[in-house]
Structure 1
Amino acid sequence: MSLFDENNIISRFILSAINGRKKHGEHIHFKVGEIDAIQNIMHVIISEIYSNNHLKEIRVNFLVGLLMTELLSNVQASDYHINGSYNESLAMAVLRYIDTDYKTASLKEISCRLNQPNYKVSKLIKDFTGKNFSDLLVEKRLDVLIHLLKHTNHSIIDVINMTGYENASHCYKVFKEKYNMSIKEYRDLNS
């Protein structure tokens, strides 16, 4: 998972803020009060800001980067709020759902959760992202698959199962189409 992955909620938020496309009142609420690592980083940042250390600006910059990394790893504990249209809020709920429930995600399930018909959720996500639900789900699963291939020693079949693919053959096919190599070749090149 990359901080600047376009399918990541935090990435979308940061990039829209940088590009000036943010809406008034748009924010991410991280429910991380119980996560010690994040609390500790926040305490160190605050202490550093009020210190007389001549390197405090550099240290705070590094600590904020570390904080962003920790928040990214806890994206499931966040709510994304837009003081914009209802449709944008629904689209963000779909993206959040794909980001957290990619193993079992389905258009039918998220439509039920949002109390919306499938066709509306499908059109909404296409209008908002330019991609359909299935494409976004495949991208997320492939991102996780790549991450697991690079950072674990699990067998390829285990990695495929961990990403939510029930049919390994389908996963092999999708991977080959996107990366022009087999999963094994990719792992061999990146290990």
Structure 2
Amino acid sequence: MSYIHSIDLRELPLYFAYQRSSYEAEHYPGTFHAHQGIEILYIHQGKGTLILEQKSYELSAGILCIFQPYQLHHVQVEISPDMPFIRSIVHFEPHAYEAYFEKWPSLHAFFKQMHTSKLAQPCIYNAGEHELLLNLLRDWNETLPRLSRNEYFEEISLFLLAFLRILKQLWERQTTRTTTVAARNMHHAERILEWLELHYKEPLRLEDMASELHLSPYHLSHLFKDCTGSSISDYITAKKTQQAILLLTATRLSISRIGEEIGITSCSYFCKLFKSQTGITPHQYRKQFQQKIYPQRL
């Protein structure tokens, strides 16, 4: 079974997770995957390997990783009860916040570089030494649940301005200003993932998908399998499952409505598919999550 962190950033302007912890390998098996928008991963505790564009990077506490839109990557981590993997995630759609950065030319140029240019490397080392970064993540985790609907988007924008300003300082401390900035070209597999991001809720029609991407169905299937280690249908199943997990933990939508949100109209089939991927039903998953997060209320 595989888990893919994914969310529809057209509906949710920012996905934020603070010190998310995994204590067993089966809860974070890892797979080649990609995401809509920019994902920034900060590692509080744990170690492993990042594989991106056929290069490997050693991961450990204090490292910050930047994943660009639809950029294939694979995070492999060593997990045990004595050595958990603890990370924070900031994931957003850059185009939704473009206007907020335009008033700050230097920061805007860096913002554009992060999602449109080919980066020299995806990791910033020793980020854990930057106390402002750690304080900002902690404070935002405390602020986010208290935001009203009216101030939500504005406060997110202010958070991202502060976050990117710190990120820019860390990036410039590690890289030289003489580094050549080139446009980033998308791999065929990334274009497939971009298509799946828009259509994963729909019934899979390989011929239609291949036609839109100007590939033969055979080439499309084998290319995706070679690049990700997963079939397209398995990838969609994993993506639906993870999207369902996000909705189960972040909303109060009913189980049947969550099934509909990920493109499954039969509630019984949704529950069966979810259990085949996680080992428990959607209701059990939500109940376990609530017991872990809000034990005093239960």
TM-score (norm 2): 0.43
Distance across 1 between alignment mates of 2:102 and 2:164: 9
User: Which runs of 5 or more structure 2 residues have no equivalent in the other structure?
Assistant: 7-14, 16-29, 40-49, 58-67, 71-92, 108-129, 137-159, 168-182, 291-298
Matched, 1:176 2:212: no
Instruction: Give how far 1:177 is off.
Output: 1.5
Instruction: Give how far 1:80 is off.
Output: 6.5
Distance across 2 between alignment mates of 1:91 and 1:188: 37
The percent identity for this pair of structures is 21
Distance across 2 between alignment mates of 1:104 and 1:172: 18
Instruction: Give how far 1:7 is off.
Output: 2.2
**Alignment of structure 1 residues 74-89 onto 2, 5 Å:** 81-82=185-186, 89=187
Partner of 1:98: 196
TM-score (norm 1): 0.64
Secondary structure, aligned partner of 1:190: helix
Instruction: Give how far 1:167 is off.
Output: 3.3
Instruction: Give how far 1:178 is off.
Output: 1.6
Amino acid of the residue matched to residue 164 of structure 2? V
Matched, 1:145 2:244: yes
Runs of 4+ in 1 over 6 A off after TM superposition: none
Does structure 2 retain, via aligned residues, the 8 Å contact 1:8–1:99?
no
Amino acid of the residue matched to residue 96 of structure 1? E
Q: Is the alpha carbon distance of 1:8 and 1:44 closer, same or farther for their aligned partners in structure 2, counting shifts above 3 Å?
A: same
Instruction: Give how far 1:44 is off.
Output: 5.6
Distance across 2 between alignment mates of 1:64 and 1:31: 11
Could you say which structure has the higher helix fraction? 1
Distance across 1 between alignment mates of 2:166 and 2:197: 21
Query: Which string of whole-angstrom CA distances, capped at 9 and with x for unpartnered residues, describes residues 24-60 of structure 1?
Result: xxx759872xx3x34325646947xxxxxxx9x8589
Query: Which string of whole-angstrom CA distances, capped at 9 and with x for unpartnered residues, describes residues 64-90 of structure 1?
Result: 2899xxxxxxxxxxx9724xxxxxx32
Partner of 1:189: 288
Distance across 2 between alignment mates of 1:15 and 1:139: 20
Partner of 2:218: 119
Secondary structure, aligned partner of 1:7: coil
Matched, 1:64 2:64: no
Could you say which structure has the higher strand fraction? 2
Aligned length: 157
User: Which runs of 5 or more structure 1 residues have no equivalent in the other structure?
Assistant: 21-26, 48-54, 68-78, 83-88
Distance across 1 between alignment mates of 2:189 and 2:163: 32
Instruction: Give how far 1:161 is off.
Output: 0.4
Instruction: Give how far 1:136 is off.
Output: 0.6
Instruction: Give how far 1:96 is off.
Output: 1.3
Does structure 2 retain, via aligned residues, the 8 Å contact 1:150–1:190?
yes
